[in-house]
């Protein structure tokens, strides 16, 4: 715990505005009181964070130089872009030019100096200090991030890209980016978050995002994770949805030593719809954990969850989905589906789809399966002259495509497909059938 206190001393320096300083101190006290969660906490039953306490982290103070190969990892989406290199804003790699009217995209460190709403507590309204101990830590430590505001009726022609890039460093670095997005009434936008890195330095990124969707707003949210081998990530997304707003998430989790994400949706008014899609692909000794929680706080709200997991080697996957229907939230539809494919006997999947229902006029269901490829399907393909390895490859890819097919950004779709195809073991052959990783870029 002392290591965290030392880090905290560095963060909360003289330059911090007064209102923020006191808030940070309170948050850190809260974190110290609670400590890092352990598997004894129900929410962390299958994910052990003890390596967080073991590893000595420092914080990057200045922007690191970014090599060409590192830069090549950034998806080219023709997007407005904020790039954080080891948690530090990089003006060179970012692109915030030609923003339309009524649209603000700003790194948090700049916004903090002048934005009244931030001072008024925009950050933390959904993911408050008392959410859990790591969110408290985020409140204490966060220095950088992004503030995005899209005004009433604006339809953004280009996506917004937020990149968390890790570069090579002699010691492990930690960062706590925070994102706040306010989507005005009738607005439409796409946000692509990308976690990338190639160097096994063991960095830790803990991102907390708060998304506010006003009436009839539409937000499509991609989270694409291809971090370096030893990197750790803990992510939390809170979404507040007003009348008829639609939130669609694609959580594409392709690795990292330990990756944990929580998506929390508050459906607060009639017609609010949340659609959560996830794809998890684990190999080696990776530990990938997806949590979601949908609170149906108002009648006539809808949610749909579709999560797929593919696990190879000794990878471990976790899925925990919660649907909570509050009393008097009638006429709800909520569906949850989690299917997992185990490719190796050492892989493990722990899944827990939960329904908590306090209203009677609801249609709720959940289903989960864990198993291997359907041998009948393999046979059907082989009977038509397809090699066994190709058949297995195609079927595995088809499994992933149940999520990927809904991805409308080609660059994201192709990258994920190529990554999975490239990483499948030899008995799954997809050579020549999908784009290679480099081509996909």
Partner 1 sequence: MANEAMEQLVRKEYKQGFYTDIESDTLPPGLDESVIRHISSIKQEPEWMLSWRLEAYRHWLTMTEPHHWAKLKYPSIDYQSVSYYSAPKKPEDAPQSLDEVDPKLLETYEKLGIPLHERAALAGVAVDAVFDSVSVTTTFKDQLAEAGVIFCSISEAIREYPELVRQYLGSVVPQGDNYFAALNSAVFTDGSFVYVPEGVTCPMELSTYFRINQANTGQFERTLIICDKRAQVSYLEGCTAPQRDENQLHAAVVELVALEDAYIKYSTVQNWYPGDEDGKGGIYNFVTKRGDCREDRAKISWTQVETGSALTWKYPSCILRGRDSVGEFYSVAVTNNHQQADTGTKMIHIGENTRSTIISKGISAGHSDQSYRGLVKVAPSARNARNFTQCDSLLLGASCGAHTFPYQEIGNASAQVEHEATTSKIGEDQLFYCMQRGISEEDAVNMIVNGFCKDVFKELPMEFAVEAEALLNVSLEGAVG
Which stretches of the chain bind partner 1, using CB under 8 A?
42, 46, 327-328, 330, 340, 342-372
CB of 372 to partner 1, least distance (A): 6
Nearer CB in complex with partner 1: 335/382: 335
Backbone phi, psi, residue 271, to 5°: 80, -10
Nearer CB in complex with partner 1: 353/393: 353
Nearer CB in complex with partner 1: 229/313: 313
CB of 32 to partner 1, least distance (A): 23
CB of 429 to partner 1, least distance (A): 19
Nearer CB in complex with partner 1: 77/342: 342
Contacts of 94 (CB under 8 A, 6+ apart): 81, 82, 83, 107
Q: What is the DSSP string of 232-275?
A: EEEEEEEEEE-TT-EEEEEEEE---SEEEEEEEEEE-STT-EEE
CB of 341 to partner 1, least distance (A): 9
Nearer CB in complex with partner 1: 81/392: 392
CB of 396 to partner 1, least distance (A): 13
CA-to-CA distance for 428 and 387, rounded, in angstroms?
Answer: 10
**Please, what is the Cα angle at 400 between 82 and 164, to 5 degrees?**
15
Strands 273-282 and 246-253: parallel
CB of 300 to partner 1, least distance (A): 15
Contacts of 111 (CB under 8 A, 6+ apart): 118, 147
Nearer CB in complex with partner 1: 79/362: 362
* Bridge partners (DSSP) listed for residue 160: 80, 191
* Bridge partners (DSSP) listed for residue 166: 197
CB of 36 to partner 1, least distance (A): 20
373 and 343 Cβ atoms separated by less than 8 Å: no
* Bridge partners (DSSP) listed for residue 225: 195, 253
Nearer CB in complex with partner 1: 3/364: 364
- Structure tokens, 82: 């904020």
């Amino acid at each position: 715990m002392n290591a965290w206190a030392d880090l905290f001393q560095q963060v909360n320096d003289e330059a911090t505005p007064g209102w923020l300083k006191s808030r940070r101190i309170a948050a850190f006290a809260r974190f110290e009181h609670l400590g890092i969660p352990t598997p004894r906490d129900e929410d962390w039953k299958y994910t052990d964070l003890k390596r967080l306490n073991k590893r000595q982290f420092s914080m990057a103070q200045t922007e690191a130089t970014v090599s060409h190969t590192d830069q090549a990892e950034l998806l080219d989406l023709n997007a407005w872009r904020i790039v954080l290199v080891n948690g530090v804003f990089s003006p060179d790699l970012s692109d915030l030019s030609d923003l339309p009217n009524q649209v603000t995209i700003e790194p948090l460190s700049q916004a903090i100096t002048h934005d009244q709403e931030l001072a008024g507590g925009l950050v933390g309204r959904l993911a408050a200090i008392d959410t859990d101990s790591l969110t408290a830590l985020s409140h204490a430590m966060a220095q950088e991030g992004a503030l995005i505001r899209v005004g009433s009726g604006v339809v953004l022609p280009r996506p917004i890209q937020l990149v968390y890039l890790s570069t090579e460093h002699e010691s492990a670095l930690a960062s706590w980016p925070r994102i706040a997005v306010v989507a005005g009434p009738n607005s439409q936008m796409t946000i692509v978050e990308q976690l990338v890195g190639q160097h096994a330095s063991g960095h830790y990124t803990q991102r907390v995002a708060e998304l506010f969707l006003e009436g009839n707003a539409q937000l499509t949210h991609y989270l694409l994770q291809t971090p370096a081998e030893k990197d750790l990530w803990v992510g939390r997304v809170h979404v507040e949805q007003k009348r008829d707003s639609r939130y669609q998430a694609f959580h594409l989790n392709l690795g990292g030593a330990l990756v944990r994400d929580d998506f929390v949706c508050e459906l607060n008014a009639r017609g609010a719809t949340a659609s959560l899609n996830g794809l998890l692909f684990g190999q080696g000794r990776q530990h990938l954990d997806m949590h979601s929680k949908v609170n149906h706080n108002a009648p006539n709200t809808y949610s749909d969850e579709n999560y797929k997991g593919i696990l190879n080697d000794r990878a471990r996957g976790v899925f925990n989905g919660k649907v909570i229907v509050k009393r008097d939230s009638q006429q709800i539809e909520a569906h949850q589906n989690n299917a997992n494919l185990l490719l190796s006997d050492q892989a493990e999947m722990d899944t827990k789809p939960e329904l908590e229902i306090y209203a009677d006029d609801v249609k709720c269901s959940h289903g989960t399966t864990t198993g291997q490829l359907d041998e009948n399907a393999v046979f059907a393909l082989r009977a038509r002259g397809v090699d066994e390895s190709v058949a297995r490859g195609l079927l595995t890819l088809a499994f992933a495509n149940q999520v990927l097919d809904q991805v409308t950004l080609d660059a994201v779709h192709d990258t994920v497909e190529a990554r999975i195809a490239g990483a499948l073991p030899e008995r799954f052959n997809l050579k020549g059938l999908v784009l290679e990783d480099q081509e996909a870029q």
